């Protein structure tokens, strides 16, 4: 689908051979795009550009977890920041609305938009303008900010945390074993995505099952890495899901049961997840937590995880975007 004006053409890529065209605007995920194309996680039909002649003035792309899946995230949205406002924003909005109408079925929910930004983006005027220019376009389309998240990294050479001996760790037995622990954790969660699920009318059990199917069921790494933490009596305290996605080793999820919060067990459980991955001789371990989840952020810091980036997640409350 191509829309043209005397000055602007909006279209998707014709195929992998146009990767170079897409990469004319920079973003921190550019190094992943070639492999995403090759594996089907990012079909050319989901990769769109706005062109003024041969000049790329905006681009966007959706991503999915595996070939043949539905669009899961809108994770690329870039503008030519040499353009003045309101021209820059108008081009971005036209690209966003044109591509969305072509890729996302009418009436279907729009996939979440996520943007990685520098940790101190608010204090740097240039970085702040780049971030806010993109957020303004999303807001003009009907999106709102759901949450800002810390992106964290444990790096090889950082001391591997020792086992305090307070808890006993065992492998997760099966789906039910984990979901039964996830449900009570969801009830008092500080996680904005979890809160949004509950606010939508889901029960804590339904929210836990949804998260399991969307995040954990697709993981390719061994479930033998997953851990349940228990007291010496056998009473469960929490759990951690060390894993690897398509790009990095990671702490996929960590939780402490409500009855055991406030005892510092989060450090013990995170330490176990870190040990599991460190034993695989990984160069780094990635993790993320909401900016507002202060207890979790402090635990990561105590165990040597570095706050290297932020992520801003935006959602559309109406399937079609603007009212």
Span 136-140, mean pLDDT? 98
Report the C-alpha gap between 237 and 239 in whole angstroms.
7
CA atoms within 13 A on the CB side of 127: 13
Q: Does residue 5 or residue 105 have the better pLDDT?
A: 105
Span 123-152, mean pLDDT? 97
pLDDT score, position 189: 82
Q: Mark out the alpha helices in 104-203 (DSSP H runs).
A: 125-140, 175-187, 192-199
pLDDT, mean over the chain: 94
Report the C-alpha gap between 227 and 233 in whole angstroms.
17
pLDDT score, position 322: 52
Q: Which helix (H) or strand (E) holds 116?
A: strand 112-117
* 219 pLDDT higher than 90: no
Q: What percent of the chain is helix, strand and coil (3-state, nearest 5)?
A: 35, 30, 35
Cβ atoms of 144 and 315 within 8 Å: the answer is yes
Report the C-alpha gap between 62 and 76 in whole angstroms.
7
Percent of the chain residues topping a pLDDT of 70: 97
Candidate from 2-11, 194-203, 216-225, 293-302 with smallest mean pLDDT = 2-11
Candidate from 14-23, 63-72, 165-174, 180-189 with smallest mean pLDDT = 180-189
Work out the pLDDT band at 51, boundaries 50, 70, 90: very high
Under 8 Å CB-to-CB from 226, ≥6 apart: which residues? 171, 172, 178, 239, 240, 241, 242, 243
Span 198-227, mean pLDDT? 91
pLDDT tens, position by position, 160-202: 999 999 999 999 999 999 999 999 998 878 788 888 888 889 8
CB atoms within 10 A of CB 2: 10
**Among 105, 118, 123, 47, residue whose Cα is nearest residue 78:** 47
CB atoms within 10 A of CB 34: 13
Q: Which helix (H) or strand (E) holds 268?
A: helix 265-278
77 Rama class: left (phi>0) / alpha (psi -120 to 50) / beta: beta
Cα–chain center distance at 135: 16
Cβ atoms of 254 and 276 within 8 Å: the answer is no
Percent of the chain residues topping a pLDDT of 90: 87
* 5 pLDDT higher than 90: no
Span 91-112, mean pLDDT? 97
Q: Which helix (H) or strand (E) holds 84?
A: none
Q: Which tokens belong to 264?
A: 């510092």
Candidate from 85-99, 161-175, 190-204, 245-259 with smallest mean pLDDT = 190-204
pLDDT score, position 1: 44
Q: Which helix (H) or strand (E) holds 148?
A: strand 143-155
pLDDT score, position 319: 62
pLDDT tens, position by position, 295-321: 999 999 999 999 999 999 999 997 655
Cβ atoms of 56 and 21 within 8 Å: the answer is yes
């Amino acid at each position: 689908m191509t829309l043209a004006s005397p000055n602007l053409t909006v279209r998707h890529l014709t195929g992998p051979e146009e990767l170079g065209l897409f990469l004319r605007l920079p973003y921190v995920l550019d190094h992943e795009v070639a492999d995403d194309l090759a594996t089907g996680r990012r079909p050319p039909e989901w990769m769109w550009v706005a062109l003024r002649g041969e000049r790329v003035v905006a681009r966007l792309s959706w991503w999915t977890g595996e070939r043949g899946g539905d669009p899961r995230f809108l994770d690329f949205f870039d503008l030519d920041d040499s353009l003045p406002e309101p021209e820059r924003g108008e081009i971005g909005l036209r690209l966003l609305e044109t591509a969305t109408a072509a890729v996302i079925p009418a009436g279907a929910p729009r996939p979440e938009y996520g943007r990685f930004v520098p940790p101190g983006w608010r204090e740097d005027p240039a970085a702040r303008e780049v971030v806010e220019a993109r957020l303004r376009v999303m807001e003009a389309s009907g999106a709102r900010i759901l949450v800002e998240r810390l992106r964290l990294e444990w790096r090889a050479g950082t001391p591997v945390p020792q086992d305090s001996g307070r808890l006993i760790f065992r492998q997760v037995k099966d789906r039910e074993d984990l979901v039964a622990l996830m449900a009570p954790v969801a009830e008092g969660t500080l996680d904005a995505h979890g809160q949004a699920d509950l606010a939508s009318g889901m029960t804590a059990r339904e929210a836990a099952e949804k998260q399991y199917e969307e995040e954990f069921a697709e993981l390719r790494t061994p479930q033998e890495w997953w851990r349940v933490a228990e007291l010496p009596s056998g009473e469960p305290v929490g759990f951690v899901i060390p894993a690897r996605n398509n790009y990095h080793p990671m702490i996929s999820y960590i939780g402490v049961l409500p009855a055991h919060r406030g005892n510092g067990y989060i450090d013990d459980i995170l330490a176990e997840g870190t040990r599991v991955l460190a034993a695989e001789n990984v160069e780094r371990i990635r993790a993320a937590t909401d900016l507002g989840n202060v207890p979790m952020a402090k635990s990561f810091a105590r165990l040597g995880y570095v706050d290297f980036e932020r992520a801003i997640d935006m959602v559309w409350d109406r399937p079609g975007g603007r009212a």
